Amino acid sequence: MSTSAVNNALALLSPQTATTGTSSFASTLQASVNRALEIASLPMQLLQADQSTISGKTNELSTLGGLFNSLQTSLQAISGSGSSTSQATVGNQSVLSAAVSGSPLAGTYTVDVLNPGSTSSAMSNSATPVTDPTTQNISSSNAFTLTVGTATFHIAPSTNSLNALAAAINSSGAPAQAVVINLGTPEAPNYQLGIQSTALGSVALQLNDGTNNLLGTPTAGADASYTVDGQPSGGITSDASTVTIAPGLNVTLQAAGTTSVTVSSSLSSVSSQLSAFVTAYNAAFTELQKNVGTSGGALVGDGAVLTMQQALQQMINYHGSSGSITSLAQLGVQFTQQGTLTFDQTAMAGLSQTQISDALTFLGDTNTGGFLQYANNALNSVTDPISGSLATETLSLQNQNQQDQTKITNDQAQLTLMQTNLNQQMAQANALISQLQNQNTFLQGLFQYTTSNNPNAPSAG
């Protein structure tokens, strides 16, 4: 058969295997695979978004938790400042100074200092002058016995020098103070050891080196004596300068004379604590506002925010039921238009003693009542480690975290299965590609002898 005959015959035949080429099919299949991958990745994208949300919420909860804890701490500080709401004013400060500890009764005390008292002292009387106290001593001994009153103390200097001896005495616990004094001139120094009793009055002082007494005759001191409101007539004797003249009221006697000591209520310490409270409140409020409305905070729409807002409003709106002070506004704490607080310290300065007393009653204590307890309880609804909104919300996030982890585990199992299937498919595809190549070669060989004269035969190559 001629080549043209074969060509003519073939032209009459419709193709048995119509292939349209691979390009258009490939693009369609590629689009399909891409779409499938996009759909498959959607859950992971959601999971990622979910995780970002959890992280953001966790961070914001942590921030708010810190701020609310600070706010609660500031409340407790106001509560703790209640013990220092009294102050003492001294009429003549050269006679004595006064200090309040606790809650002394308000009133005026007249203190007459008959004798501010003095301490006993003694000086060493070494015949051989010490010209260098860092290397020389008043005795060659390395062990001494110090007598103060009726008590004795063993003294063992670290080195054999006057300075070391004085230091050893001061660290021995003896109620005495040792000093090194130059009784000579700069050109001819003569260092001696001086010892002074801590207590007022006549106190025996002696230092013995095992053989000799090293101190000269001591100068005897005198006890302090004073009367309070003229009583007792002979005065009260004390071997200490600081004496307690009323519960919670101590005075330090400084010079003979008479002075008044007035104890009155004061809100100065409360004032500074209230200022700190307002600062802490504003910090918490401002942070909370970042999570309200369209502000875009991580906790927008979260129920915990509402609980925290309510807690803040609740405690600020507290009203006392008795006395002349029934609201924070009367103490200078006011709302701004933005919802934050301001504090006017001058508001407290103008309060009378009765109003100060009422203010302290209004404030109360975090444990027993008043504003502080009310506010503390309101904040507990936020900060309580078990039932507080912060703890509850954190637990909720933890649960969500756990659920996400479970979902990830499941997704990973599914992905592993897909990987296995794909690997299997690829192995089968590899085998098929090789097989088809071999079959093609085989068939081309089979058909080869017709190549030259059959137009339907495959082209070479």
Partner 1 sequence: MPHPQADLPHDDLARELRAAVLGSDHAKAARVSEQYTVALGRQWALMSETERATSGIPKQAVELLTWAREVTIMHHAMAAQHLSAIEKANRYLTARANYLRTAAI
Output 43 or 210, the one with its CB closest to partner 1: 43
CB of 307 to partner 1, least distance (A): 19
Of 298 and 372, the one with the shorter C-beta distance to partner 1 is 298
Residue identified by tokens 């308000």 is 106
Q: From the centroid of its chain, how far is CA 159?
A: 46
CA–chain centroid gap for 67, Å, is 10
Q: Is 4 in the site for partner 1 (CB under 8 A)?
A: no
CB of 283 to partner 1, least distance (A): 22
Q: What are phi and psi of 247, to 5 degrees?
A: -55, 120
Residues of span 356-415 touching partner 1 by CB under 8 A: 394, 397-398, 401, 404-405, 408-409, 411-412, 415
Q: Using H for helix, E for strand and C for coil, what is the string for 52-68?
A: HHHHHHHHHHHHHHHHH
Binders of partner 1: how many residues, by CB under 8 A?
66
Given candidates 24, 29, 142, 215, which one binds partner 1 under the rule CB under 8 A? 29
Q: Of these, 10, 99, 143, 255, which contacts partner 1 (CB under 8 A)?
A: 10
Residue 24 within binding range of partner 1, rule CB under 8 A: no
Contact 136, 130 (CB under 8 A): yes
Binder of partner 1 out of 258, 307, 330, 453 (CB under 8 A):
453
Does 425 help bind partner 1 (rule: CB under 8 A)? yes
Q: Is 42 among the residues that bind partner 1 (CB under 8 A)?
A: no
- Map residue 197 onto helix, strand or coil: strand
Please tell me the distance from the alpha carbon of residue 312 to that of residue 378, in angstroms, as a whole number: 8
Does residue 13 touch partner 1 according to CB under 8 A?
Answer: yes
Q: Which of 89, 365, 437, 461 binds partner 1 (CB under 8 A)?
A: 437
Contact pattern for partner 1 over residues 182 through 221, marking x by CB under 8 A: ----------------------------------------
In what helix (H) or strand (E) does residue 231 lie, and over which residues does it extend?
A: strand 231-238
Q: Cβ closer to partner 1: 55 or 352?
A: 55
CB of 448 to partner 1, least distance (A): 9
CA-to-CA distance for 105 and 5, rounded, in angstroms?
A: 135
| CB atoms closer than 10 angstroms to residue 304 | 23
In whole angstroms, give the CA distance from residue 351 to residue 105: 19
Closest to 178 in 3D by CA, of 159, 164, 158 = 164
Q: Does 159 participate in binding partner 1 (rule CB under 8 A)?
A: no
Of these, 37, 156, 183, 349, which contacts partner 1 (CB under 8 A)?
A: 37
How many other C-beta atoms lie within 10 A of the C-beta of residue 11? 9
SS3 179: strand
Q: Per CB under 8 A, does 53 bind partner 1?
A: no
- Residue 85 engages partner 1 in binding (rule: CB under 8 A): no
Q: Which of 217, 222, 439, 461 binds partner 1 (CB under 8 A)?
A: 439
d(CA 179, CA 166): 6
Of residues 12 and 127, the one with the C-beta less far from partner 1: 12
Q: Indicate the residue type of 299.
A: L
3-class SS at 249?
strand
Nearest distance in Å: CB 12, partner 1: 9
Rounded alpha-carbon distances, angstroms, from residue 215 to 113, 124, 131, 138, 149 = 32, 4, 18, 10, 14
Considering the complex, state which of residue 183 and residue 443 has its C-beta at the smaller distance from partner 1.
443
Q: Cα(first)–Cα(last) distance of the chain, in Å?
A: 24
461 pairs with which residues across the strands? none
Of 92-111, binders to partner 1 (CB under 8 A) are none
Which tokens go with 115?
A: 């004798």
Q: Which stretches of the chain bind partner 1, using CB under 8 A?
A: 1, 5-6, 9-10, 13, 15-17, 19, 22, 25-26, 29-30, 33, 37, 40-41, 44, 47-48, 51, 54-55, 58, 394, 397-398, 401, 404-405, 408-409, 411-412, 415-416, 418-419, 422-423, 425-426, 428-433, 435-437, 439-440, 442-444, 446-447, 450, 453-454, 456-458
